[in-house]
Structure 1
Amino acid sequence: MPKPRDLNDLRRERRAAAAQMQERADTLAALEGAETPDTEAIAAAETAFAEAQAGFETLNAQVGRAEAAEAARAAAATGGDDPAPGTGALPTGANPGTGSPATPRNPAHRGVEVGFMLHALAASRGDRERAVARLEADGHSGVAAIMSGASEAAGGITIPAAQSEELIAMLTPRVTVRASGATAGYGAETSAIAESEMSFDAVDKSFKLLRALVPLSNSLLRHSSVAMAQHARDDLLKAMALREDLAFLRGDGANDTPKGLRNWALADNWREGIAGTAAAAEAAVRWAVSTVEDANVGMVHPGWIMRASAKNWLASLRDDRGNPVFPSIDASGTLKGYPIRTTSQVPDNLGAEGDGTEITFADFDEVVIGDAMQIAIAASTEAAFVDANGETISAFQRDLTLMRAVSEHDLAPSHDEAIAGFTATGWSL
């Protein structure tokens, strides 16, 4: 029995059908514009165009139905279940059990459906049908409705687009490159960013796979509560955010990984060995801003990314009169008028002395993040993983369940000139 096509499959087929329809329309127009029209060829081309148009309309209708069904599942998950005990209060004047109005959704529970899916899938050892039944038994019928319609992935499921997009949106404040400005996300239909104005190369994207392993205690998984689901959701977000930050900042593009800002920066836009003095720091900061501005970059959402220790070092600098060199850091969290984002994923051990770090300045309106807008999850109680200390950990021995999450994305600037930065030494307190 052939595998059912999911929404992304249908969208890809619709796009291909639209391209075929355009191709046949162009062929027909060329035949009609010939000096000596070939009526037989024109008739055949008209038939071919009509067939392509019919195929597109059929797929467009199928996509519309699939989108409507997915929207219904999302609405059922977020609005149909009774709140779990202790997770919210009834509105003022509401009377339990008498058709009271729905309680507004608690913002802290955003994306919690994914946590319940993780819990149910882990407790069911990756069996979707058993996971759905477990959710139903625990009173989470809305989440069960979503999960029952999710497409199956290797050893697990692909989270539906509505919940994947919500989880990806929650990554924004956790990943400095996503949070620094107006980045663009797009789904599976889009594969290229069209170029405009300045004559630079177009940005072509091929999605890179991000795999995150999240070990969950089986003791935790024996409970079904909003707190448990939030914990599972947050563990997943943390694992994904840390790896994304590292890739988007310093990835070299090798081995099917994203190429980060450091390696997108032009050679002339990056300087090495900025000394740990107030004069050198002020000159380097001014140079980075000027380098981007002088390239006629729009400066729509410019900003800085650095380690917190580097930010605090800059804030501590004083001039000859004892006044802060960069008073705006403590006053407003900005440097030269532009916001600062900090992350521990920027190294602080670069260079021969092992005390170097990187400071990146960019107009993040020019930085494009392409997202496939879907996350696949799977569970195992037998697998092993390597922890942060390099030790191999057995999930079975530790009574853990390993959750694997896979997402697809890539990053590229519309114009490389929008990124500048430098490697600094001794920038720490």
Structure 2
Amino acid sequence: MRITALKTSLAAVVASMDGMLEAAANDNGRDLTAEEQTAFDAKAEEAKGLQAKIAQEEQLLALKSSAATPVTVPGGTTTTANQPGTVPAAVAEKIEPGAMVGRVAIAIAATGGQDQRAMAAHAQGIWGDQTGQIVANMEQSTATKGGYLVDTAYSRDFIGLLRPRVVVRNMGARSVPMPDGNLSMRKQTGTSQAGYVGEREPAPTTGFPVGELKMSAKTLRAIVPITNQLIRRASFGVDAMVRDDLVTSAAIKEDQQFLRGVGSATAPAGLRTLIPAGNVLTISADTSLETVTSDLGRLRLKVINANVPMAKCGYIMSPTVAMFLENLRDANGNKAFPEVAEGRLGIYPIGITTSVPDNLGAGGNESEIYFGDFEQFLIGDTYQVTLAASTEAAYVEDGQVKSAFAQDETLIRLIEEHDTQLRYDSAFAVLTGVTWKP
């Protein structure tokens, strides 16, 4: 609903204002600079505007409620005023997480996405009144021609399904709301300073050195072809199938980008790009148990020595490197790291993904291992999924251009927006040049 999105936007604006004041308070309790005060005042005006819009929406909802009439049933129990009986409110259907995105996609595809009433009627005919009402109340996207915004609550469900499929999300990355597409907050750039002093001696600065962290929404597009025969026969179960195809398509790209994406004005930076140069380490020349253990220790120590909170630490590596560590044995033939088979290395969990390549380096035989506190990896999500459909567009599959019309398919295009940043610059380290293979 619109009011939900407005309240989410208001919360983000208030959080940004709070961040400005907190940064100044941590900087010896100073006042806001002229530039900061201007930005703060602008946010305050934005908040007032959102409050006014929320008030309008609440007023409209109250009027709709007062104007609502009960549904009558022929032969139902009559009231004391001898009026027809009414149907008690039905219990809302419990929908699988993300399935509503699949239902909306099918409704758009089945009707061409031009007539919202037809879309709502189609959805109602297959899945009932609740889904039909949700489709009827969707807003058209102003940024995507022919696209429709999925309700924020169902968009959140869909994005939540990406967590187990995207290794950075699954390792504990923190998702923060970015409803208006932008977010500014402070980040830690170094460790605190403290010391003992004598009487009347100035105390050292004890606050953490901070900098400014900015995120702006980057657009991820995922295209999934669906056969028109499947759409024509849509029923319970097909919505989950379409949802899963959309999740898989988005997750594959997120996994790749969040790890090794270079970052640009249109794409978020990946972990490899965000890690500072001083935290990029190189493996030793040989692959003995002693050097492997030493290299892993150096990697972990780089993060520990930066005084990182170590709240949700873990490793990310390729399946090849994980298999090497699982099979590595000591001089007595015992497995050196038996816990790798259980998904951890020492006490820390391992995230394994093919999005970490094994063909890096001049020889095309190198890989990387990441270690850090994933709670310091921020993913700014707008929590808004946009869907559109086309029967005429083309797509590329296995290097070949295919026509949706010729294939009797409909292309579903999903758009989600996000960005990435590190809350603490030294929260991660990477071991490069890894040539460990089983």
Match of 1:421 in 2: 430
Q: Tell me, in whole angstroms, the C-alpha distance in 1 between the residues paired with 2:256 and 2:437.
A: 20
Is the contact between residue 17 and residue 55 of structure 1 (CA under 8 Å) also seen in structure 2?
Answer: no
Is the contact between residue 308 and residue 343 of structure 1 (CA under 8 Å) also seen in structure 2?
Answer: yes
Q: Tell me, in whole angstroms, the C-alpha distance in 2 between the residues paired with 1:392 and 1:164.
A: 30
**1:201 aligns to what SS in structure 2?**
strand
Is the contact between residue 359 and residue 424 of structure 1 (CA under 8 Å) also seen in structure 2?
Answer: no
Which structure 2 residues correspond to residues 60-99 of structure 1 after superposition, within 5 A?
60-62=54-56
User: Is 2:402 aligned against 1:393?
Assistant: yes
**Cα distance, 1:277–1:140 mapped onto 2, change above 3 Å:** farther
Is the contact between residue 7 and residue 67 of structure 1 (CA under 8 Å) also seen in structure 2?
Answer: no
Match of 2:139 in 1: 151
Is the contact between residue 305 and residue 343 of structure 1 (CA under 8 Å) also seen in structure 2?
Answer: yes
1:164-216, CA deviations, whole angstroms, 9 ceiling, x for partnerless residues?
A: 00111111111111110151321315612234652132211111111111111
How far the C-alpha of 1:335 sits from its partner, in A, is 0.9
1:150-173, CA deviations, whole angstroms, 9 ceiling, x for partnerless residues?
A: 111221201110100011111111
**1:415 aligns to what SS in structure 2?**
coil
Q: Tell me, in whole angstroms, the C-alpha distance in 1 between the residues paired with 2:250 and 2:357.
A: 18
**1:171 aligns to what SS in structure 2?**
coil
Match of 1:411 in 2: 420
Match of 1:315 in 2: 326
**Cα distance, 1:104–1:255 mapped onto 2, change above 3 Å:** closer
How far the C-alpha of 1:66 sits from its partner, in A, is 8.4
Q: TM-score, normalised by structure 2?
A: 0.75
Match of 1:59 in 2: 53
Q: Tell me, in whole angstroms, the C-alpha distance in 2 between the residues paired with 1:67 and 1:203.
A: 38
How far the C-alpha of 1:10 sits from its partner, in A, is 7.5
**Cα distance, 1:123–1:271 mapped onto 2, change above 3 Å:** same
- Look up the equivalent residue of 1:409 and give its one-letter code: H
Is the contact between residue 310 and residue 373 of structure 2 (CA under 8 Å) also seen in structure 1?
Answer: yes
> Could you tell me which of 268, 280, 288 is aligned with 2:291?
280
Q: Tell me, in whole angstroms, the C-alpha distance in 1 between the residues paired with 2:157 and 2:433.
A: 37
Q: TM-score, normalised by structure 1?
A: 0.77
Q: Tell me, in whole angstroms, the C-alpha distance in 1 between the residues paired with 2:333 and 2:178.
A: 52
Moved more, 394-403 or 190-199: 190-199
Q: Tell me, in whole angstroms, the C-alpha distance in 2 between the residues paired with 1:181 and 1:17.
A: 25
Which structure 2 residues correspond to residues 98-113 of structure 1 after superposition, within 5 A?
105=94, 109-113=96-100
**1:138 aligns to what SS in structure 2?**
helix
**Cα distance, 1:315–1:57 mapped onto 2, change above 3 Å:** closer
**Cα distance, 1:239–1:349 mapped onto 2, change above 3 Å:** same
Is the contact between residue 386 and residue 392 of structure 1 (CA under 8 Å) also seen in structure 2?
Answer: yes
Match of 2:194 in 1: none
Is the contact between residue 264 and residue 413 of structure 1 (CA under 8 Å) also seen in structure 2?
Answer: yes
Is the contact between residue 186 and residue 211 of structure 2 (CA under 8 Å) also seen in structure 1?
Answer: no
Structure 2 stretches of 5 or more lacking a match?
18-44, 64-87, 189-206
Match of 1:186 in 2: 177
User: Is 2:157 aligned against 1:134?
Assistant: no
User: Is 2:234 aligned against 1:231?
Assistant: no
**1:61 aligns to what SS in structure 2?**
helix
- Look up the equivalent residue of 1:256 and give its one-letter code: T
1:34-61, CA deviations, whole angstroms, 9 ceiling, x for partnerless residues?
A: xxxxxxxxxxxxxxxxx99986653342
- Look up the equivalent residue of 1:151 and give its one-letter code: E
User: Is 2:247 aligned against 1:259?
Assistant: no
**Cα distance, 1:172–1:390 mapped onto 2, change above 3 Å:** same
Which structure 2 residues correspond to residues 158-197 of structure 1 after superposition, within 5 A?
158-189=149-180, 191-195=183-187, 197=207
Is the contact between residue 249 and residue 346 of structure 1 (CA under 8 Å) also seen in structure 2?
Answer: yes
Q: Tell me, in whole angstroms, the C-alpha distance in 1 between the residues paired with 2:150 and 2:303.
A: 39
Match of 2:66 in 1: none
How far the C-alpha of 1:396 sits from its partner, in A, is 1.2
Which structure 2 residues correspond to residues 304-383 of structure 1 after superposition, within 5 A?
304-330=315-341, 332-383=342-393
How far the C-alpha of 1:414 sits from its partner, in A, is 0.6
**Cα distance, 1:139–1:249 mapped onto 2, change above 3 Å:** closer
User: Is 2:102 aligned against 1:115?
Assistant: yes
Moved more, 293-302 or 249-258: 249-258
Q: Tell me, in whole angstroms, the C-alpha distance in 1 between the residues paired with 2:16 and 2:365.
A: 54
Structure 1 stretches of 5 or more lacking a match?
21-50, 70-98
Moved more, 59-68 or 336-345: 59-68
**1:120 aligns to what SS in structure 2?**
helix
How far the C-alpha of 1:353 sits from its partner, in A, is 2.1
**1:131 aligns to what SS in structure 2?**
helix
User: Is 2:281 aligned against 1:293?
Assistant: no
Q: Tell me, in whole angstroms, the C-alpha distance in 2 between the residues paired with 1:211 and 1:349.
A: 27
Q: Tell me, in whole angstroms, the C-alpha distance in 1 between the residues paired with 2:57 and 2:390.
A: 33
Is the contact between residue 17 and residue 56 of structure 1 (CA under 8 Å) also seen in structure 2?
Answer: no
Is the contact between residue 17 and residue 52 of structure 1 (CA under 8 Å) also seen in structure 2?
Answer: no
Q: Tell me, in whole angstroms, the C-alpha distance in 2 between the residues paired with 1:335 and 1:251.
A: 26
Residue-pair matches, total: 364
Q: Tell me, in whole angstroms, the C-alpha distance in 1 between the residues paired with 2:62 and 2:132.
A: 17
Is the contact between residue 92 and residue 130 of structure 2 (CA under 8 Å) also seen in structure 1?
Answer: no
**Cα distance, 1:212–1:18 mapped onto 2, change above 3 Å:** closer
Which structure 2 residues correspond to residues 14-53 of structure 1 after superposition, within 5 A?
none
The answer to which structure has the higher helix fraction is 1
Q: Tell me, in whole angstroms, the C-alpha distance in 2 between the residues paired with 1:263 and 1:224.
A: 43
Match of 1:34 in 2: none
Q: Tell me, in whole angstroms, the C-alpha distance in 1 between the residues paired with 2:267 and 2:212.
A: 20
| Percent of pairs with identical residues | 33
